Amino acid sequence: MNKKHALLFGEIKSVVDSGMDTDDILRFVCQILRDGVPHFDWVGFYKYNEEERKLYLGAYSGDETEHTVISYGHGVCGQVAQSGEKLIVPDVTAEQNYIACSLTVKSEAVVPVVRSGKAIAQIDVDSDTPDAFSAEDIELLEGTADEIKDFL
């Protein structure tokens, strides 16, 4: 993790350890990521509902989205819910199963949040920059997912 990302991760750890309300923690984490990484234009958490096979939007930072409920298998987030594996899409126009949240989004990264070996939620990041996500970005998102797993 580069120095900038390590500092952001330190901020995230401080918020997680702060004792704040869970919803506040998740909102702050979204805001830290969005403010701290210039090409993170929208950051949000989707929680899994296994019984309904749907994702429900929780805390987020960025423009409002109409995609507050997503079925498993639908779009990038739905694919991650189905597979349990992270998915990085460098060019959303090349993704056949893409749900357009905004016409400005060019790339997307979705990282599952895993607790006790089971994916329970995901961090979704949209970027208006093509091929925006570096290995350090993904490492930061994976570390964040691990830090917040007990709050989802």
CA angle, 7 then 9 then 11, to 5°: 75
The 8-class DSSP code of residue 75 comes to: H
Give the Cα separation of 36 and 120 in Å (integer): 25
Q: What are the pLDDT digits (tens) for 74-111? A: 999 999 999 999 999 999 999 888 887 778 999 999 99
* Domains detected in the chain: 3-151 (3.30.450.40)
Q: Note the pTM of the prediction, 2 decimals.
A: 0.96
pLDDT band (50, 70, 90) for residue 71: very high
